[in-house]
Structure 1
Amino acid sequence: MQRYTKPAMVLHWLIALLIVAAFTMGLVMVDIPGFTPTKLKYFSWHKWMGVTVLLLAAVRLLWRHGNRPPPHPASMAQWQVKAADVTHVLLYVLMFAVPLSGYLYTTAAGVPVVYLGLFQIPAAFAADPALKAVLKPVHYWLNMAMAALVVLHVAAALKHQFVDRDDVLKRMLP
């Protein structure tokens, strides 16, 4: 059985954890009424996780470019191979699009992003209430698309593990 490289595994699981945490934090923070210190703290953490996902996704994409993943099992139907490939491409696109849309939304809102409380990421443009109104649902729906694809990805991995028993999941486990 061919496996993913250790750096690919670490990046996969770290990014997965951060995506789930940022998504959960996003759902929790928007339901906090008013403008409280807790809500502000959660927004900061959410942004930090988003920036970190963006940075790690860039590293992961570079790593993948130089270190090809193991081939799909020969037993996989061609439609499943295509579906897996499309899903992976879309996940990579969303690992960039979701944090970037959040950054642009925050910029349009006129709120700075101070990464890990250490340094401010420069704003891409001046605050723009009209653009903020457009970017808020864009960020939301990109997140919903990411959540749906993550659920599909996990379901497919579990299907391969427990139904097909073809070691697809084991290739990504440390």
Structure 2
Amino acid sequence: MQKYSLPLRLLHWLTALLVFGLFGVGLWMRNLGYYDPLYQVLPYWHKSVGFLLCALVVVRLLTRAVGRSPGPLASHRPWERGLAHAMHLLLYGLLFGLFASGYLIATADNRPASFFGWFDIPVLITPFPDQEDIAGLLHEYFAWSLIGLVALHAAAALKHHWRDKDDTLKRML
């Protein structure tokens, strides 16, 4: 069995952990009142970890581009290969949609966004009317869509492991 490289496996699972963590924190933040002590703290961490996730996804794509990944298993049917490819494109597309919309939310007040207080991420786009609201709505749609596709992705991996009894899941563990 040919496994994915250790860097790709670590980046895969770290991405998954951060996606679920950010999603949970995002849901929690929506219900915070102005006087809640976490009202300022959670958005700060959510933005910084979101920027970190963006960097990790870029590193993951570069690692994948320069390294060799195992090809599909011989037992995978053509439609499964096509669906898996489309699923990965959608997952990455939604991630980058989340990054872009999150950036637009963070810079809607025309001030740079802080990355853990280490440095600022500059405002690159002149804010437009209702930017925070529009980007916020897109961010929410992208987040729910991503979680739905991640659930399908996990279900497909489990289907391969339990029903098809192939090495699809084992190659990423």
TM-score bracket for the superposition, by shorter chain length: over 0.9
Give distance in 2, aligned partners of 1:133 and 1:24. 20
RMSD between aligned residues: 1.6
Kindly indicate whether the alpha-carbon contact (under 8 Å) linking 2:87 and 2:153 is maintained by their aligned counterparts in 1: yes
Unaligned runs of 5+ in 1: none
Q: Matched residue of 2:114: which SS? A: strand
Deviates further, 58-67 or 104-113: 104-113
The residue matched to 1:108 in structure 2 has which SS?
A: coil
1 CA distance for matches of 2:172 and 2:41? 33
Shift of 1:98: 0.8
CA distance in 2, matches of 1:47, 1:72: 35
Tell me the residue number matched to 2:80.
80
Of 69-78 and 155-164, the range deviating more from structure 2? 69-78
Give, in whole Å, the separation in 1 of the partners of 2:65 and 2:71. Answer: 14
Residues 36-51 of structure 1 mapped to structure 2, 5 A cutoff: 36-51=36-51
Encode CA deviations 1:38-68: one digit per residue, 9 max, x unaligned.
Answer: 1211111111111011000110100111123
AA of the residue aligned to 2:33: P
Moved over 3 A (4+): 109-112, 125-129
User: Number of paired residues?
Assistant: 173
Residues 16-31 of structure 1 mapped to structure 2, 5 A cutoff: 16-31=16-31
TM (norm. structure 2) is: 0.92
1:15 maps to which residue? 15
- Tell me by how many angstroms 1:110 deviates: 4.4
Displacement of 1:118 in angstroms is 2.0
- Residue type matched to 1:28 in 2? W
- Corresponding position: 1:135 with 2:135: yes
* Identity across the alignment (%): 40
Cα deviation for residue 35 of structure 1 reads 4.8
Question: Could you state the TM-score of these two structures normalised by the residue count of structure 1?
Answer: 0.92
Report what 2:96 is aligned to. 96
Unaligned runs of 5+ in 2: none
More helix by share: 1
